[in-house]
Amino acid sequence: MTQKSFKRLDSRDKIFHIILFLIMLWVLFITLFPFLNVLAISFNDSADTARGGVGIFPRVFTLENYTQLARFPAMWTGLYISLARTIIGTALGLFCTSMLAYVISRQDFMFRKAITTMFILTMYVSGGLIPHFMVIRMFGLNNTFWVYIIPTLISAWNLIIIRSFIDSLPYSLQESAFIDGANDLTIFFKIILPLCLPVLMTVALFIAVFQWNSWFDTYLFAPFNESITTLQFELMKILEGAATGGQLGDAGNIQMAHNVSPLSLRMAATVVTMLPMLLAYPFVQRFFVSGMTLGAVKE
């Protein structure tokens, strides 16, 4: 659709668009201000921050908050574990989800209906928190790294997104491969996977964001195991410690850093925790949107 240039609109339309512009500016400000403010404070001198009034730019620039933060081993473990679960969880999750999605896209598969229904129902029914907790313990996953990966291997939502993408591919491609003597595994790896690249990218990002942002599984299954603690969980402890003023292991110690106020450290930790997201966001956000609409159409 072509649109008239702004000058050629009549005056009522002009007023409407000016008001709309102002509303959107306000929306932008509300959305962005917390991010920019936290970023500014994390780079601002701690003593100066205490005077208040730091806006969206640091007044007295310093890296001290970050160098102090780097002295806490828990932050490094957290970073390492969070990266590990994001990478491993995404790779495994993507592999399993796409494989299953291919199988349930096959009209001739004998358990197609049964398995599809089985997964879709999980979107509506769940056993609840405590039975889930017990099952994880029954399998001996608590206090292990794999509690981050295995229980969330496949999500019904991602499964549907990939399946609807495969459904949209012409079946004749598979048919001709069958005639050439390929088996189902070969077809999946050699034909389906390469064609699915765009949707796999989207789902990979969904899983990665989910993995990176998870904190509750640590809280529930490994709260005292410092060797597999995640960055999000460490940040939670720091923030919680700030709220109650209590001493929570490492999180308590973090309040006692030299020359740097707890607030500045908290802000630096917050920035580190969301950094991968913020860096990747501008480049990948279009994949998220396409995935969202793809999944929604099929719902």
Partner 1 sequence: MESFKLESLRFFQGKRGKRIYQQRYLLLMSIPFAAWCFAFMYLPLFGWIMAFQNFRLMGRVTLRSFWEAEWIGLANFRELFADERFYTALRNTLGMSFLGITIGFVVPIIFALLINEMRVGLFKRFVQTVSYMPHFISWVVAAGMITFMLATTGPLNSVLIAVGLIDRPIAFLSTGEMFWGIITGSEIWKSTGWNAIIFLAAISGIDLQLYEAAEADGAGRFKKMWHVTLPGISNVIIVILIMNIGWLMNVGFERQMLLGNPAIREWAEVLDVYILRFGIGTGRFSYGTAIGIFRSVVSIMLLLAANGIARKTGRGGVI
Contacts of partner 1 in 132-171 (CB under 8 A): 132-135, 137-140, 150-151, 153-154
In the shown chain, the binding pattern of residues 10 to 39 toward partner 1, with x for contact by CB under 8 A and - for none, equals: ---x--xx--xx-xx--xx-xxxxxx-xx-
Min CB(16)–partner 1 separation in Å:
7
In the shown chain, the binding pattern of residues 185 to 204 toward partner 1, with x for contact by CB under 8 A and - for none, equals: x--x----------------
Contacts of partner 1 in 214-273 (CB under 8 A): 214-216, 220, 232-233, 235-236, 239, 243-244, 263, 266-267, 270, 273
Sequence-ordered list of residues with C-beta below 8 angstroms from that of 227, at least 6 positions apart, any chain: 77
b/e 210-245 (16+ beta carbons within 10 angstroms → b): bbbbbbebbeebbeeeeebbbbbbbbbbbeebbeee
Which of these ranges, 71-79, 109-117, 166-174, 245-253, lies near partner 1 under the rule CB under 8 A?
A: 109-117
Contacts of partner 1 in 30-89 (CB under 8 A): 30-35, 37-38, 52-53
Min CB(289)–partner 1 separation in Å:
6
From the list 81, 209, 222, 228, which residue makes contact with partner 1 (rule: CB under 8 A)?
209
Min CB(50)–partner 1 separation in Å:
9
Identity of the residue, 137 or 190, whose beta carbon is nearer to partner 1 in the bound complex: 137
Q: Site size for partner 1, by CB under 8 A?
A: 92
Identity of the residue, 77 or 214, whose beta carbon is nearer to partner 1 in the bound complex: 214
Identity of the residue, 30 or 197, whose beta carbon is nearer to partner 1 in the bound complex: 30
Which of these ranges, 67-75, 161-169, 195-203, 205-213, lies near partner 1 under the rule CB under 8 A?
A: 205-213
From the list 83, 106, 144, 169, which residue makes contact with partner 1 (rule: CB under 8 A)?
106
Min CB(56)–partner 1 separation in Å:
10
Min CB(77)–partner 1 separation in Å:
17
Contact call for residue 183 and partner 1 (CB under 8 A): yes
Sequence-ordered list of residues with C-beta below 8 angstroms from that of 251, at least 6 positions apart, any chain: 74, 234, 237, 238, 240, 241
Min CB(83)–partner 1 separation in Å:
15
